[in-house]
Amino acid sequence: VQLAESGGGLVQPGDSVRVSCAASEFTFSRYALAWFRQPPGKEREFVATINNIGDITQYADSVKGRFTISRDNAKDTLYLQMNSLNPEDTAVYYCASGRSGLIAIATSDYLYWGQGTQVTVSS
C-alpha cells in the first residue's frame, strides 16, 4: 500500500489550498480514509474522515465549516479542501487508510500512512 500526499506549501492567512492523496497497491474503495495533521512541536491530531463510499464524513471542531474532505474512488484519490486558513493550521498533513469502510478518528484505527505534506500559513 502506498499513499502519497501533494499540494501543500506556503499560503497567507485567509487563503485556500487543496491537498491530495494518491493511493496505490490496494482496494481503495473498500476503506475509510482520513486526514491527520501534526503542528510543530505537537502530537498528531485528527482532522477529517470519510467512509468508503464517500457519503459520511466527520471533522474536528477546529476545522468544521472551513475544511472539506472528499474522495474519488475512480481515481484512487483523497482530497482535503482547506479554506479560511489561519496560522494555527500550520502543520504536516498526513492521509491514512482505515482498517474498514467505517469512519474513525483515532490514529490507531488507521493502518497505512503517507509521508505527509507541509502546509504553512504565514503572512
Q: To which residue does cell 472539506 refer?
A: 68
Q: Determine which helix (DSSP H) or strand (DSSP E) holds 4, and give its type and residue range.
A: strand 2-6
Q: How much of the chain exceeds pLDDT 90, in percent?
A: 93
Minimal CA–CA distance to 5: which of 87, 65, 18, 38? 18
Interval 57-71: pLDDT, tens: 999 999 999 999 999
Region of 41 on the Ramachandran plot (φ > 0 left; ψ -120 to 50 alpha; else beta) = left
Q: Binning pLDDT at 50, 70 and 90, where does residue 27 land? A: confident
CB 22 within 8 A of CB 4: yes
Q: Is pLDDT above 90 for 1?
A: no
Mean pLDDT score, 41-62: 97
Residue 12: all three cell numbers together: 497567507
Q: Is pLDDT above 90 for 17?
A: yes
Mean pLDDT score, 72-83: 97
pLDDT for the residue 78: 97
Phi, psi of 35 (to 5 degrees): -115, 135
